[in-house]
Amino acid sequence: MFPAGFEHVEDQLWLWLVAMIRPGAAFFAAPIFGMASVPVQLRLVVSLAVGMAGLSAVPFQLPPDGVTSVAGVVLVLGEILAGLALGFAVQIGFSSAMLAGETIGNTMGLGFAQMMNPMSGASTPALAQFLSIIATFLFLSIGGHLSLATIIVDSYRALPVGSAMPAAASLRGLVMFGGDLFAAGLAIALPVGFALILVQIVMGMLSRSAPAMNLFAVGLPATLLAGLVLMAIASPSMGDGIIASINAGLGEARKIAAGR
């Protein structure tokens, strides 16, 4: 039997658990927060802080039969789906930088250079990892992490706990936005990628005019040098493209949080 003042401890613990579900799912799918190097304990604490701020803005009561009932399971599934949709929308905008890096790296001949990606734990091209690091700095510099927390808190108004299933239009918009990932990645890589294609055409013309020339000995260093110089020149425009893609991901997350 609990002492006086502790009779509602179990209800409070269940309330904290429900509060952590949606932010935890969003942070699991979102960039930076979902990195394997981020401690789980830190993620839980941040999820609880964001979730309690969201729950305090709307009235909420636990299901009469508890979270383990049918109504409670539906509630948890809705919270997980809403959180994953919010985080995945931001992740789509963030991943355009990695796609651009893979495109440029393959064109430069650096597709064989692999690095361990701390976000996914898989090997990715070195140039894609480089642009992913730049995207991380830009995401933090524009306050993307704070915007994501604000979006999660605002989502409790349009998608209250217990009715958090995103609308079919929201899920369809998220799927269609996934197609924009390829367009955004190619747009970021276009300044460097198009110039590298011209370099490849010139090297092909040289190989036809001078068949005795070792194309592999000359073409690879020339392509690498041209790629590095072009990336240095096009860095401002590529940074603007990455920021625009991240903002598009945050905008899509806002639409889902508003129930649209």
pLDDT digits (tens, 9 = 90+) for 119-151: 555 566 778 888 888 888 999 898 888 888 888
Q: Over 70: is that where the pLDDT of 196 sits?
A: yes
Supply the pLDDT for residue 8: 63
Supply the pLDDT for residue 114: 58
228 found inside a domain: yes
Higher-confidence position of 103 and 8: 103
Q: How confident is the model at residue 2 (pLDDT cuts 50, 70, 90)?
A: very low
Average pLDDT of span 98-116: 73
Distance CA 203, CA 226 (A): 12
1 found inside a domain: no
Burial (CB count within 10 angstroms: exposed 0-12, middle 13-18, buried 19+), residue 53: middle
Q: What is the mean pLDDT of the chain?
A: 79
* pLDDT tens by residue, 238-254: 888 899 999 988 988 88
Supply the pLDDT for residue 99: 84
Higher-confidence position of 146 and 3: 146
Supply the pLDDT for residue 188: 86
Tokens of 219: 């073409």
Supply the pLDDT for residue 56: 79
Q: What percent of the chain has pLDDT over 70?
A: 84
Average pLDDT of span 102-117: 69
CA distance to 10, 146, 208, 221, 232, per residue, from 109 (Å): 59, 38, 21, 9, 17
Q: Over 80: is that where the pLDDT of 51 sits?
A: yes
Task: For residue 77, give its domain range.
Answer: 9-257
Q: Over 50: is that where the pLDDT of 187 sits?
A: yes
65 found inside a domain: yes
Q: How confident is the model at residue 215 (pLDDT cuts 50, 70, 90)?
A: low
Among 27-36, 102-111, 183-192, whose mean pLDDT is lowest? 102-111
76 found inside a domain: yes
Q: What percent of the chain has pLDDT over 90?
A: 1
Show Cβ contacts of residue 147 under 8 Å, excluding neighbours closer than 6 positions: 250
Distance CA 145, CA 238 (A): 21
3 found inside a domain: no
Q: Over 70: is that where the pLDDT of 25 sits?
A: yes
Q: Under DSSP, is residue 240 helix (H, G, I), strand (E, B) or coil?
A: helix
Q: How confident is the model at residue 113 (pLDDT cuts 50, 70, 90)?
A: low
Q: Over 60: is that where the pLDDT of 217 sits?
A: yes
159 found inside a domain: yes
* Dihedral of alpha carbons 247, 249, 251, 257, sign: negative
* Domains identified in the chain, total number: 1
203 found inside a domain: yes
Distance CA 174, CA 179 (A): 9
CA distance to 15, 40, 184, 245, 254, per residue, from 180 (Å): 38, 31, 6, 9, 17
4 found inside a domain: no
Task: At 123, give phi and psi (nearest 5°).
Answer: -85, 130
Average pLDDT of span 211-217: 67
